[in-house]
Structure 1
Amino acid sequence: MALKAYKPTSPARRGLILVDRSQLYKGKPVKSLTKGKTKTGGRNNKGHVTSRGIGGGHKQKYRLVDFKRRKWDVEGTIERIEYDPNRSAYIALISYPDGEQAYIIAPQRVAPGDKIVAGEKVDVKPGNAMLIGQMPIGTIVHNIELKPGKGAQIARAAGTYCQVVGRDKGMVIVRMNSGEQRYIRSDCMATVGAVSNPDNSNTTLAKAGRNRWRGKRPLTRGVAKNPVDHPHGGGEGRTSGGRHPVTPWGKPTKGARTRKNKATDKFIIRSRHAKKKR
Protein backbone atom coordinates (compact mmCIF):
# COMPACT_ATOMS: atom_id res chain seq x y z
CA MET A 1 0.00 0.00 0.00
CA ALA A 2 1.27 3.44 -0.98
CA LEU A 3 1.88 6.56 1.06
CA LYS A 4 -0.47 9.55 0.86
CA ALA A 5 1.01 13.06 0.99
CA TYR A 6 -1.60 15.72 1.77
CA LYS A 7 -1.80 19.24 0.36
CA PRO A 8 -1.16 21.97 2.97
CA THR A 9 -4.77 23.15 3.17
CA SER A 10 -4.27 23.86 6.90
CA PRO A 11 -1.35 23.87 9.36
CA ALA A 12 -2.43 20.37 10.50
CA ARG A 13 -2.19 19.05 6.93
CA ARG A 14 1.18 20.60 6.08
CA GLY A 15 3.76 17.81 5.89
CA LEU A 16 1.21 15.09 6.71
CA ILE A 17 2.17 11.71 5.20
CA LEU A 18 0.05 8.65 6.01
CA VAL A 19 -0.31 5.13 4.68
CA ASP A 20 -3.16 4.67 2.20
CA ARG A 21 -5.56 2.23 3.87
CA SER A 22 -8.29 2.33 1.20
CA GLN A 23 -7.75 -1.39 0.43
CA LEU A 24 -8.49 -2.48 3.99
CA TYR A 25 -11.84 -3.78 5.26
CA LYS A 26 -13.99 -0.87 6.45
CA GLY A 27 -16.34 -2.68 8.86
CA LYS A 28 -16.04 -3.66 12.50
CA PRO A 29 -13.91 -6.59 13.75
CA VAL A 30 -15.39 -10.02 14.53
CA LYS A 31 -17.00 -9.61 17.95
CA SER A 32 -16.04 -13.06 19.23
CA LEU A 33 -12.37 -12.28 18.47
CA THR A 34 -12.29 -9.00 20.41
CA LYS A 35 -11.98 -8.05 24.07
CA GLY A 36 -12.56 -4.83 25.98
CA LYS A 37 -9.46 -2.78 26.62
CA THR A 38 -9.06 -0.42 29.56
CA LYS A 39 -6.54 2.41 29.71
CA THR A 40 -4.37 3.06 32.77
CA GLY A 41 -3.21 6.59 32.03
CA GLY A 42 0.20 5.36 33.18
CA ARG A 43 -1.07 4.89 36.77
CA ASN A 44 -0.64 1.88 39.05
CA ASN A 45 -3.23 0.45 41.48
CA LYS A 46 -2.53 3.31 43.93
CA GLY A 47 -3.18 5.97 41.29
CA HIS A 48 0.48 7.01 41.12
CA VAL A 49 2.05 7.74 37.72
CA THR A 50 4.56 4.94 37.06
CA SER A 51 4.89 5.46 33.29
CA ARG A 52 5.14 9.07 32.17
CA GLY A 53 3.73 10.36 28.91
CA ILE A 54 0.64 8.13 28.80
CA GLY A 55 -2.94 9.36 28.83
CA GLY A 56 -6.03 9.99 26.70
CA GLY A 57 -6.21 8.50 23.23
CA HIS A 58 -9.01 6.96 21.24
CA LYS A 59 -10.97 4.07 22.73
CA GLN A 60 -9.79 0.71 21.36
CA LYS A 61 -10.92 -2.91 21.22
CA TYR A 62 -8.26 -5.57 21.58
CA ARG A 63 -8.16 -8.10 18.74
CA LEU A 64 -7.25 -11.66 19.78
CA VAL A 65 -4.46 -12.60 17.38
CA ASP A 66 -3.34 -16.22 16.91
CA PHE A 67 0.43 -16.13 17.46
CA LYS A 68 0.72 -19.91 18.00
CA ARG A 69 -0.58 -21.23 14.65
CA ARG A 70 -1.08 -24.74 16.08
CA LYS A 71 -4.14 -25.65 13.97
CA TRP A 72 -2.05 -27.97 11.83
CA ASP A 73 -2.81 -29.29 8.35
CA VAL A 74 -6.15 -27.45 8.10
CA GLU A 75 -6.26 -25.10 5.13
CA GLY A 76 -7.74 -21.68 5.89
CA THR A 77 -8.94 -18.90 3.60
CA ILE A 78 -8.06 -15.24 4.08
CA GLU A 79 -11.42 -13.45 4.28
CA ARG A 80 -10.12 -9.89 4.58
CA ILE A 81 -7.24 -7.66 5.72
CA GLU A 82 -8.07 -5.33 8.63
CA TYR A 83 -6.55 -2.41 10.50
CA ASP A 84 -5.56 -3.10 14.10
CA PRO A 85 -5.15 -0.09 16.44
CA ASN A 86 -3.07 -2.17 18.87
CA ARG A 87 -0.13 -2.79 16.51
CA SER A 88 1.62 -1.28 13.51
CA ALA A 89 1.01 -4.32 11.28
CA TYR A 90 -2.30 -5.21 9.64
CA ILE A 91 -4.19 -8.36 10.62
CA ALA A 92 -5.88 -10.95 8.41
CA LEU A 93 -9.12 -12.78 9.23
CA ILE A 94 -8.83 -16.51 8.51
CA SER A 95 -11.84 -18.82 8.04
CA TYR A 96 -11.39 -22.59 8.40
CA PRO A 97 -13.67 -25.29 6.88
CA ASP A 98 -15.03 -26.23 10.35
CA GLY A 99 -16.39 -22.69 10.80
CA GLU A 100 -13.67 -21.47 13.15
CA GLN A 101 -12.24 -18.00 12.57
CA ALA A 102 -8.95 -16.48 13.72
CA TYR A 103 -6.89 -13.35 13.28
CA ILE A 104 -3.22 -13.60 12.28
CA ILE A 105 -0.59 -10.96 11.57
CA ALA A 106 -1.02 -10.22 7.85
CA PRO A 107 2.13 -10.94 5.80
CA GLN A 108 3.11 -8.99 2.71
CA ARG A 109 1.88 -10.28 -0.68
CA VAL A 110 -1.30 -11.96 0.56
CA ALA A 111 -4.82 -10.97 -0.47
CA PRO A 112 -8.42 -11.94 0.36
CA GLY A 113 -9.19 -15.37 -1.10
CA ASP A 114 -5.68 -16.76 -0.67
CA LYS A 115 -5.28 -20.14 1.05
CA ILE A 116 -2.85 -20.61 3.93
CA VAL A 117 -1.96 -23.59 6.10
CA ALA A 118 0.13 -24.37 9.18
CA GLY A 119 1.87 -27.68 9.82
CA GLU A 120 5.12 -29.43 10.63
CA LYS A 121 6.29 -29.01 7.02
CA VAL A 122 4.23 -27.17 4.39
CA ASP A 123 4.85 -25.23 1.16
CA VAL A 124 7.13 -22.22 1.49
CA LYS A 125 4.73 -19.42 0.56
CA PRO A 126 3.71 -16.20 2.38
CA GLY A 127 1.30 -16.83 5.25
CA ASN A 128 2.11 -20.53 5.70
CA ALA A 129 3.49 -21.46 9.13
CA MET A 130 5.72 -24.41 10.00
CA LEU A 131 8.54 -25.52 12.27
CA ILE A 132 11.52 -23.28 11.60
CA GLY A 133 13.78 -26.33 11.46
CA GLN A 134 11.92 -27.52 8.33
CA MET A 135 12.42 -24.27 6.41
CA PRO A 136 15.04 -24.02 3.63
CA ILE A 137 18.09 -21.86 4.31
CA GLY A 138 17.54 -18.34 2.97
CA THR A 139 13.81 -18.26 3.77
CA ILE A 140 12.40 -14.88 4.89
CA VAL A 141 10.28 -15.42 8.03
CA HIS A 142 8.38 -13.52 10.73
CA ASN A 143 6.32 -14.37 13.84
CA ILE A 144 9.09 -16.52 15.31
CA GLU A 145 8.67 -18.39 18.60
CA LEU A 146 11.42 -18.43 21.22
CA LYS A 147 9.82 -21.29 23.18
CA PRO A 148 7.81 -24.05 21.46
CA GLY A 149 4.08 -23.50 21.99
CA LYS A 150 4.46 -20.11 23.69
CA GLY A 151 3.53 -18.10 20.60
CA ALA A 152 5.47 -15.77 18.32
CA GLN A 153 7.65 -13.13 19.97
CA ILE A 154 10.12 -12.04 17.26
CA ALA A 155 9.42 -10.01 14.08
CA ARG A 156 5.80 -8.97 14.68
CA ALA A 157 5.94 -5.21 13.93
CA ALA A 158 5.12 -3.67 10.54
CA GLY A 159 7.63 -4.45 7.80
CA THR A 160 9.88 -6.64 9.97
CA TYR A 161 11.34 -10.01 9.00
CA CYS A 162 14.24 -12.36 9.73
CA GLN A 163 16.20 -14.73 7.52
CA VAL A 164 17.13 -18.36 8.13
CA VAL A 165 20.89 -18.45 7.46
CA GLY A 166 22.00 -21.86 8.71
CA ARG A 167 21.70 -24.88 10.99
CA ASP A 168 23.98 -26.04 13.77
CA LYS A 169 23.68 -28.55 16.64
CA GLY A 170 19.99 -29.16 16.06
CA MET A 171 19.29 -25.42 16.17
CA VAL A 172 18.50 -22.90 13.43
CA ILE A 173 20.58 -19.76 12.93
CA VAL A 174 18.44 -16.68 12.24
CA ARG A 175 19.61 -13.22 11.20
CA MET A 176 17.53 -10.31 12.54
CA ASN A 177 16.92 -6.92 10.91
CA SER A 178 19.30 -5.39 13.46
CA GLY A 179 22.17 -7.58 12.24
CA GLU A 180 22.03 -9.84 15.30
CA GLN A 181 22.38 -13.56 14.66
CA ARG A 182 21.03 -16.06 17.13
CA TYR A 183 20.06 -19.71 17.59
CA ILE A 184 16.38 -20.67 17.58
CA ARG A 185 15.15 -24.13 18.55
CA SER A 186 14.17 -26.24 15.53
CA ASP A 187 10.73 -27.07 16.98
CA CYS A 188 9.65 -23.41 17.20
CA MET A 189 7.01 -22.17 14.77
CA ALA A 190 7.59 -19.35 12.26
CA THR A 191 5.58 -17.88 9.39
CA VAL A 192 6.92 -17.45 5.85
CA GLY A 193 7.24 -13.91 4.50
CA ALA A 194 7.66 -10.39 5.88
CA VAL A 195 5.10 -8.50 7.98
CA SER A 196 2.63 -6.23 6.18
CA ASN A 197 2.57 -2.40 6.14
CA PRO A 198 6.29 -1.78 5.45
CA ASP A 199 5.61 1.93 4.78
CA ASN A 200 4.60 2.48 8.40
CA SER A 201 8.07 3.83 9.24
CA ASN A 202 7.85 6.48 6.49
CA THR A 203 4.78 8.27 7.85
CA THR A 204 4.85 11.82 9.28
CA LEU A 205 2.20 12.82 11.82
CA ALA A 206 2.59 16.59 11.17
CA LYS A 207 0.95 17.76 14.42
CA ALA A 208 1.08 17.02 18.14
CA GLY A 209 -2.64 16.23 18.21
CA ARG A 210 -2.14 13.00 16.27
CA ASN A 211 0.11 11.71 19.04
CA ARG A 212 -2.57 12.65 21.58
CA TRP A 213 -5.06 10.53 19.62
CA ARG A 214 -2.64 7.64 20.11
CA GLY A 215 -2.58 8.11 23.87
CA LYS A 216 0.80 9.86 24.07
CA ARG A 217 1.12 12.95 26.25
CA PRO A 218 3.82 15.62 25.77
CA LEU A 219 7.08 15.35 27.70
CA THR A 220 9.15 18.39 28.70
CA ARG A 221 12.87 18.24 27.92
CA GLY A 222 15.11 18.02 30.95
CA VAL A 223 17.30 20.94 29.76
CA ALA A 224 14.21 23.19 29.81
CA LYS A 225 13.64 22.54 33.54
CA ASN A 226 15.16 23.91 36.74
CA PRO A 227 17.92 22.05 38.63
CA VAL A 228 15.43 21.01 41.32
CA ASP A 229 13.30 19.23 38.70
CA HIS A 230 15.88 17.44 36.53
CA PRO A 231 19.63 16.66 36.49
CA HIS A 232 19.89 18.47 33.12
CA GLY A 233 18.11 21.58 34.41
CA GLY A 234 19.48 25.05 35.08
CA GLY A 235 22.57 26.75 33.73
CA GLU A 236 23.14 30.17 32.19
CA GLY A 237 21.45 30.59 28.83
CA ARG A 238 20.81 27.50 26.75
CA THR A 239 22.81 24.42 27.74
CA SER A 240 22.96 20.96 26.25
CA GLY A 241 22.50 19.08 29.52
CA GLY A 242 26.00 17.74 30.14
CA ARG A 243 28.11 14.92 28.71
CA HIS A 244 26.13 11.98 30.06
CA PRO A 245 22.37 12.20 29.47
CA VAL A 246 20.32 10.77 32.34
CA THR A 247 16.68 10.28 33.32
CA PRO A 248 15.04 12.52 35.95
CA TRP A 249 16.16 9.90 38.50
CA GLY A 250 19.81 9.86 37.42
CA LYS A 251 19.87 6.62 35.41
CA PRO A 252 21.90 6.78 32.14
CA THR A 253 19.74 7.07 29.02
CA LYS A 254 19.84 7.72 25.25
CA GLY A 255 21.69 4.61 24.19
CA ALA A 256 23.14 3.41 27.50
CA ARG A 257 22.95 -0.39 27.55
CA THR A 258 20.92 -1.86 30.39
CA ARG A 259 20.67 -5.51 29.29
CA LYS A 260 22.28 -7.78 31.88
CA ASN A 261 22.58 -11.54 32.39
CA LYS A 262 19.61 -12.66 30.29
CA ALA A 263 19.01 -16.41 30.17
CA THR A 264 18.89 -16.31 26.35
CA ASP A 265 22.26 -14.53 25.90
CA LYS A 266 23.90 -17.89 25.25
CA PHE A 267 21.87 -18.23 22.04
CA ILE A 268 23.18 -14.96 20.55
CA ILE A 269 25.96 -15.74 18.05
CA ARG A 270 26.60 -12.18 16.90
CA SER A 271 25.36 -9.17 18.85
CA ARG A 272 23.64 -6.32 17.07
CA HIS A 273 26.22 -4.08 18.76
CA ALA A 274 29.19 -5.99 17.27
CA LYS A 275 29.74 -3.52 14.42
CA LYS A 276 29.72 -0.59 16.89
CA LYS A 277 32.56 -2.07 18.93
CA ARG A 278 35.06 -1.92 16.07
Structure 2
Amino acid sequence: MALKQYNPTSPAQRGLILIDRSALYKGRPVKGLTEGKRKTGGRNNKGHVTSRGIAGGHKQRYRIVDFKRRLWDVDGTVERIEYDPNRTAFIALVNYGAGEDGKDRLAYILAPQRLAVGDKVVAGKKTDVKPGNAMELGQMPVGTIVHNVEMKPGKGGQIARSAGTYAQVVGRDRGMVMVRLNSGEQRYIHANCMGTVGAVSNPDNANQNFAKAGRSRWMGKRPLTRGVAKNPVDHPHGGGEGRTSGGRHPVTPWGKPTKGARTRSNKATDKMIIRSRHAKKKR
Protein backbone atom coordinates (compact mmCIF):
# COMPACT_ATOMS: atom_id res chain seq x y z
CA MET A 1 0.00 0.00 0.00
CA ALA A 2 1.21 3.48 -0.83
CA LEU A 3 1.34 6.51 1.42
CA LYS A 4 -1.05 9.45 1.09
CA GLN A 5 0.18 13.03 1.57
CA TYR A 6 -2.29 15.83 2.21
CA ASN A 7 -2.27 19.47 1.16
CA PRO A 8 -1.89 21.87 4.12
CA THR A 9 -5.47 23.18 4.00
CA SER A 10 -5.44 23.37 7.82
CA PRO A 11 -2.86 22.99 10.61
CA ALA A 12 -4.09 19.41 11.17
CA GLN A 13 -3.47 18.52 7.51
CA ARG A 14 0.03 20.03 7.35
CA GLY A 15 2.55 17.20 7.36
CA LEU A 16 -0.15 14.53 7.54
CA ILE A 17 0.97 11.25 5.95
CA LEU A 18 -1.30 8.21 6.17
CA ILE A 19 -1.59 4.77 4.58
CA ASP A 20 -3.73 4.68 1.44
CA ARG A 21 -6.40 2.11 2.30
CA SER A 22 -8.57 2.68 -0.77
CA ALA A 23 -7.97 -0.89 -1.98
CA LEU A 24 -9.24 -2.46 1.25
CA TYR A 25 -12.75 -3.78 1.82
CA LYS A 26 -15.04 -0.97 3.00
CA GLY A 27 -17.81 -2.94 4.74
CA ARG A 28 -18.17 -4.36 8.22
CA PRO A 29 -16.25 -7.46 9.39
CA VAL A 30 -17.84 -10.91 9.53
CA LYS A 31 -19.98 -10.87 12.69
CA GLY A 32 -19.26 -14.49 13.60
CA LEU A 33 -15.51 -13.78 13.57
CA THR A 34 -15.66 -10.78 15.91
CA GLU A 35 -16.31 -10.25 19.58
CA GLY A 36 -16.77 -7.26 21.87
CA LYS A 37 -13.75 -5.43 23.23
CA ARG A 38 -13.85 -3.31 26.37
CA LYS A 39 -11.53 -0.43 27.15
CA THR A 40 -9.55 -0.67 30.38
CA GLY A 41 -8.08 2.82 30.54
CA GLY A 42 -4.89 1.11 31.70
CA ARG A 43 -6.57 0.04 34.98
CA ASN A 44 -6.57 -3.40 36.59
CA ASN A 45 -9.41 -5.08 38.49
CA LYS A 46 -8.73 -2.84 41.51
CA GLY A 47 -8.96 0.35 39.48
CA HIS A 48 -5.24 1.07 39.82
CA VAL A 49 -3.34 2.41 36.80
CA THR A 50 -0.97 -0.37 35.73
CA SER A 51 -0.27 0.90 32.18
CA ARG A 52 0.20 4.65 31.86
CA GLY A 53 -0.76 6.65 28.80
CA ILE A 54 -3.85 4.64 27.89
CA ALA A 55 -7.38 6.08 27.74
CA GLY A 56 -10.18 6.88 25.32
CA GLY A 57 -9.91 5.96 21.69
CA HIS A 58 -12.46 4.88 19.13
CA LYS A 59 -14.68 1.92 19.97
CA GLN A 60 -13.37 -1.33 18.47
CA ARG A 61 -14.50 -4.89 17.86
CA TYR A 62 -11.89 -7.61 18.13
CA ARG A 63 -11.35 -9.72 14.99
CA ILE A 64 -10.64 -13.39 15.75
CA VAL A 65 -7.54 -14.15 13.67
CA ASP A 66 -6.42 -17.72 12.95
CA PHE A 67 -2.79 -17.78 14.10
CA LYS A 68 -2.64 -21.60 14.26
CA ARG A 69 -3.48 -22.51 10.61
CA ARG A 70 -4.33 -26.11 11.56
CA LEU A 71 -6.97 -26.75 8.87
CA TRP A 72 -4.54 -28.80 6.79
CA ASP A 73 -4.67 -29.58 3.07
CA VAL A 74 -7.86 -27.57 2.45
CA ASP A 75 -7.65 -24.90 -0.23
CA GLY A 76 -8.98 -21.51 0.81
CA THR A 77 -9.86 -18.54 -1.39
CA VAL A 78 -9.06 -14.98 -0.30
CA GLU A 79 -12.39 -13.13 -0.44
CA ARG A 80 -11.16 -9.70 0.69
CA ILE A 81 -8.39 -7.80 2.48
CA GLU A 82 -9.58 -5.80 5.50
CA TYR A 83 -8.35 -3.16 7.93
CA ASP A 84 -8.02 -4.35 11.52
CA PRO A 85 -8.01 -1.64 14.22
CA ASN A 86 -6.42 -4.04 16.72
CA ARG A 87 -3.14 -4.49 14.83
CA THR A 88 -0.84 -2.71 12.39
CA ALA A 89 -1.11 -5.43 9.72
CA PHE A 90 -4.06 -5.97 7.40
CA ILE A 91 -6.09 -9.17 7.63
CA ALA A 92 -7.48 -11.40 4.88
CA LEU A 93 -10.83 -13.19 4.94
CA VAL A 94 -10.37 -16.76 3.66
CA ASN A 95 -13.23 -19.02 2.55
CA TYR A 96 -12.41 -22.74 2.88
CA GLY A 97 -15.65 -23.86 1.27
CA ALA A 98 -18.69 -25.59 2.76
CA GLY A 99 -18.24 -27.70 5.87
CA GLU A 100 -20.25 -30.69 7.12
CA ASP A 101 -23.14 -28.38 8.06
CA GLY A 102 -23.24 -26.93 4.56
CA LYS A 103 -22.08 -23.47 5.69
CA ASP A 104 -18.95 -21.77 4.39
CA ARG A 105 -15.93 -22.10 6.65
CA LEU A 106 -14.53 -18.57 7.04
CA ALA A 107 -11.40 -17.45 8.86
CA TYR A 108 -9.28 -14.34 9.17
CA ILE A 109 -5.53 -14.69 8.65
CA LEU A 110 -2.74 -12.13 8.69
CA ALA A 111 -2.44 -10.80 5.15
CA PRO A 112 1.10 -11.12 3.76
CA GLN A 113 2.54 -8.82 1.13
CA ARG A 114 1.56 -9.62 -2.48
CA LEU A 115 -1.58 -11.54 -1.43
CA ALA A 116 -4.55 -10.47 -3.57
CA VAL A 117 -8.29 -11.12 -3.63
CA GLY A 118 -9.01 -14.43 -5.39
CA ASP A 119 -5.67 -16.03 -4.49
CA LYS A 120 -5.63 -19.58 -3.13
CA VAL A 121 -3.95 -20.34 0.20
CA VAL A 122 -3.41 -23.69 1.91
CA ALA A 123 -1.87 -24.96 5.13
CA GLY A 124 -0.24 -28.35 5.57
CA LYS A 125 2.86 -30.27 6.56
CA LYS A 126 4.47 -29.33 3.24
CA THR A 127 2.99 -26.93 0.65
CA ASP A 128 4.12 -24.68 -2.18
CA VAL A 129 6.35 -21.78 -1.14
CA LYS A 130 3.79 -19.09 -1.98
CA PRO A 131 2.71 -16.01 0.06
CA GLY A 132 -0.07 -16.97 2.47
CA ASN A 133 0.65 -20.71 2.49
CA ALA A 134 1.49 -22.18 5.90
CA MET A 135 3.65 -25.22 6.60
CA GLU A 136 6.06 -26.70 9.10
CA LEU A 137 9.37 -24.84 9.33
CA GLY A 138 11.29 -28.08 8.86
CA GLN A 139 9.79 -28.48 5.37
CA MET A 140 10.69 -24.98 4.16
CA PRO A 141 13.71 -24.39 1.91
CA VAL A 142 16.62 -22.55 3.53
CA GLY A 143 16.32 -18.81 2.81
CA THR A 144 12.51 -18.71 2.91
CA ILE A 145 10.96 -15.48 4.24
CA VAL A 146 8.27 -16.32 6.82
CA HIS A 147 5.95 -14.66 9.33
CA ASN A 148 3.49 -15.73 12.05
CA VAL A 149 6.04 -18.25 13.35
CA GLU A 150 5.17 -20.59 16.23
CA MET A 151 7.51 -21.06 19.20
CA LYS A 152 5.72 -24.22 20.40
CA PRO A 153 3.99 -26.69 18.03
CA GLY A 154 0.24 -26.07 18.03
CA LYS A 155 0.37 -22.92 20.16
CA GLY A 156 -0.13 -20.48 17.27
CA GLY A 157 2.15 -17.91 15.69
CA GLN A 158 3.96 -15.52 18.03
CA ILE A 159 6.94 -14.23 16.04
CA ALA A 160 6.75 -11.67 13.18
CA ARG A 161 3.09 -10.62 13.30
CA SER A 162 3.41 -6.83 13.12
CA ALA A 163 3.19 -4.79 9.90
CA GLY A 164 6.13 -5.33 7.54
CA THR A 165 7.93 -7.84 9.78
CA TYR A 166 9.36 -11.21 8.77
CA ALA A 167 11.86 -13.87 9.79
CA GLN A 168 14.14 -15.97 7.60
CA VAL A 169 14.94 -19.67 7.70
CA VAL A 170 18.75 -19.87 7.66
CA GLY A 171 19.48 -23.53 8.40
CA ARG A 172 18.55 -26.88 9.98
CA ASP A 173 20.18 -28.82 12.79
CA ARG A 174 19.06 -32.05 14.55
CA GLY A 175 15.28 -31.61 14.31
CA MET A 176 15.51 -27.85 14.85
CA VAL A 177 15.37 -24.96 12.40
CA MET A 178 17.61 -21.90 12.65
CA VAL A 179 15.66 -18.68 12.14
CA ARG A 180 16.97 -15.12 11.85
CA LEU A 181 14.61 -12.49 13.30
CA ASN A 182 14.21 -8.83 12.33
CA SER A 183 16.14 -7.77 15.43
CA GLY A 184 19.23 -9.67 14.24
CA GLU A 185 18.73 -12.47 16.77
CA GLN A 186 19.20 -16.02 15.54
CA ARG A 187 17.44 -18.83 17.41
CA TYR A 188 16.47 -22.46 17.19
CA ILE A 189 12.79 -23.30 16.67
CA HIS A 190 11.36 -26.84 16.59
CA ALA A 191 10.94 -28.17 13.06
CA ASN A 192 7.27 -29.07 13.75
CA CYS A 193 6.34 -25.43 14.39
CA MET A 194 4.24 -23.73 11.72
CA GLY A 195 5.14 -20.61 9.79
CA THR A 196 3.48 -18.70 6.97
CA VAL A 197 5.36 -17.82 3.79
CA GLY A 198 5.98 -14.15 3.04
CA ALA A 199 6.39 -10.89 4.94
CA VAL A 200 3.49 -9.23 6.78
CA SER A 201 1.47 -6.64 4.84
CA ASN A 202 1.46 -2.86 5.34
CA PRO A 203 5.25 -2.26 5.47
CA ASP A 204 4.73 1.53 5.24
CA ASN A 205 2.97 1.63 8.60
CA ALA A 206 6.10 3.00 10.29
CA ASN A 207 6.30 5.90 7.80
CA GLN A 208 3.01 7.51 8.81
CA ASN A 209 2.96 10.99 10.37
CA PHE A 210 -0.18 11.74 12.37
CA ALA A 211 0.54 15.50 12.39
CA LYS A 212 -1.53 16.27 15.49
CA ALA A 213 -1.98 15.00 19.03
CA GLY A 214 -5.70 14.37 18.53
CA ARG A 215 -5.10 11.57 16.06
CA SER A 216 -3.13 9.70 18.72
CA ARG A 217 -6.02 10.24 21.17
CA TRP A 218 -8.36 8.58 18.66
CA MET A 219 -6.08 5.54 18.88
CA GLY A 220 -6.32 5.42 22.68
CA LYS A 221 -2.95 7.03 23.47
CA ARG A 222 -2.66 9.79 26.06
CA PRO A 223 0.23 12.27 26.28
CA LEU A 224 3.08 11.42 28.66
CA THR A 225 4.95 14.17 30.48
CA ARG A 226 8.77 13.97 30.39
CA GLY A 227 10.38 13.20 33.73
CA VAL A 228 12.75 16.19 33.50
CA ALA A 229 9.71 18.51 33.30
CA LYS A 230 8.39 17.28 36.68
CA ASN A 231 9.19 18.06 40.30
CA PRO A 232 11.51 15.84 42.37
CA VAL A 233 8.53 14.46 44.30
CA ASP A 234 7.00 13.17 41.05
CA HIS A 235 9.98 11.73 39.17
CA PRO A 236 13.67 10.93 39.81
CA HIS A 237 14.61 13.18 36.87
CA GLY A 238 12.59 16.10 38.20
CA GLY A 239 13.71 19.36 39.78
CA GLY A 240 16.89 21.34 39.28
CA GLU A 241 17.52 25.01 38.60
CA GLY A 242 16.47 26.18 35.16
CA ARG A 243 16.33 23.69 32.34
CA THR A 244 18.22 20.56 33.30
CA SER A 245 18.37 17.35 31.32
CA GLY A 246 18.48 14.97 34.26
CA GLY A 247 22.20 14.50 34.75
CA ARG A 248 21.98 10.83 35.68
CA HIS A 249 21.27 7.46 34.17
CA PRO A 250 17.70 7.43 32.79
CA VAL A 251 15.21 5.66 35.05
CA THR A 252 11.47 5.07 35.21
CA PRO A 253 9.27 7.02 37.67
CA TRP A 254 9.92 4.14 40.10
CA GLY A 255 13.70 4.22 39.81
CA LYS A 256 14.23 1.22 37.51
CA PRO A 257 16.88 1.72 34.76
CA THR A 258 15.45 2.28 31.28
CA LYS A 259 16.35 3.40 27.75
CA GLY A 260 18.65 0.54 26.82
CA ALA A 261 19.29 -1.02 30.22
CA ARG A 262 19.08 -4.83 30.15
CA THR A 263 16.09 -6.00 32.19
CA ARG A 264 15.55 -9.46 30.69
CA SER A 265 15.93 -12.18 33.31
CA ASN A 266 16.84 -15.79 32.53
CA LYS A 267 14.08 -17.26 30.36
CA ALA A 268 13.43 -20.92 29.66
CA THR A 269 13.95 -20.27 25.94
CA ASP A 270 17.35 -18.55 26.31
CA LYS A 271 19.07 -21.84 25.48
CA MET A 272 17.44 -21.67 22.02
CA ILE A 273 19.17 -18.39 21.17
CA ILE A 274 22.17 -18.94 18.88
CA ARG A 275 23.15 -15.29 18.48
CA SER A 276 21.75 -12.49 20.61
CA ARG A 277 20.37 -9.34 19.04
CA HIS A 278 22.82 -7.46 21.26
CA ALA A 279 25.89 -9.28 19.89
CA LYS A 280 26.62 -6.57 17.33
CA LYS A 281 26.59 -3.92 20.08
CA LYS A 282 29.27 -5.57 22.22
CA ARG A 283 32.80 -4.16 21.96
Determine helix, strand or coil for the equivalent of 2:200. coil
Counterpart-to-counterpart distance in 1, 2:6 and 2:85: 22
Counterpart-to-counterpart distance in 2, 1:177 and 1:42: 29
Aligned partner of 1:177 among 170, 173, 182: 182
Displacement after TM superposition at 1:31 (Å): 0.0
Q: Answer yes or no: is 1:144 the counterpart of 2:149.
A: yes
Counterpart-to-counterpart distance in 1, 2:38 and 2:45: 13
Counterpart of 2:101 in structure 1 is none
Determine helix, strand or coil for the equivalent of 2:93. strand
Gaps of 5+ in 2: 99-103
Counterpart of 2:232 in structure 1 is 227
Counterpart of 1:194 in structure 2 is 199
Counterpart of 1:93 in structure 2 is 93
Q: Answer yes or no: is 1:17 the counterpart of 2:32.
A: no
**In structure 2, what residue type is equivalent to 1:149?**
G
Aligned length: 278
**In structure 2, what residue type is equivalent to 1:223?**
V
Q: Answer yes or no: is 1:213 the counterpart of 2:218.
A: yes
Alignment of 1:31-70 (within 5 A): 31-70=31-70
**In structure 2, what residue type is equivalent to 1:40?**
T
Q: Answer yes or no: is 1:275 the counterpart of 2:280.
A: yes
Displacement after TM superposition at 1:175 (Å): 0.5
RMSD, aligned CA: 0.6
Identical aligned residues as a percent:
81
Counterpart-to-counterpart distance in 1, 2:248 and 2:275: 30
Determine helix, strand or coil for the equivalent of 1:205. coil
Displacement after TM superposition at 1:48 (Å): 1.4
Displacement after TM superposition at 1:84 (Å): 0.1
Counterpart of 1:6 in structure 2 is 6
**In structure 1, what residue type is equivalent to 2:84?**
D
Determine helix, strand or coil for the equivalent of 2:225. coil
Deviations, residues 112-134 of structure 1 (Å, cap 9, x unaligned): 00000000001000000000000
Counterpart of 1:29 in structure 2 is 29
Find runs of 4+ consecutive structure 1 residues off by over 4 angstroms. Answer: none
Aligned partner of 2:261 among 256, 263, 277: 256
Deviations, residues 32-86 of structure 1 (Å, cap 9, x unaligned): 0000000100111111111111100000000000000000000000000000000
Displacement after TM superposition at 1:256 (Å): 1.0
Q: Answer yes or no: is 1:131 the counterpart of 2:139.
A: no
Determine helix, strand or coil for the equivalent of 2:216. helix
* Superposition TM-score, scaled by structure 1 size: 0.99
Displacement after TM superposition at 1:255 (Å): 1.2
Q: Answer yes or no: is 1:157 the counterpart of 2:162.
A: yes
Counterpart-to-counterpart distance in 2, 1:50 and 1:188: 34
**In structure 1, what residue type is equivalent to 2:151?**
L
Determine helix, strand or coil for the equivalent of 1:97. strand
Counterpart-to-counterpart distance in 1, 2:82 and 2:149: 22
**In structure 2, what residue type is equivalent to 1:124?**
V
Determine helix, strand or coil for the equivalent of 2:206. helix
Q: Answer yes or no: is 1:121 the counterpart of 2:142.
A: no
Displacement after TM superposition at 1:243 (Å): 2.5
Counterpart of 2:249 in structure 1 is 244
Determine helix, strand or coil for the equivalent of 1:153. strand
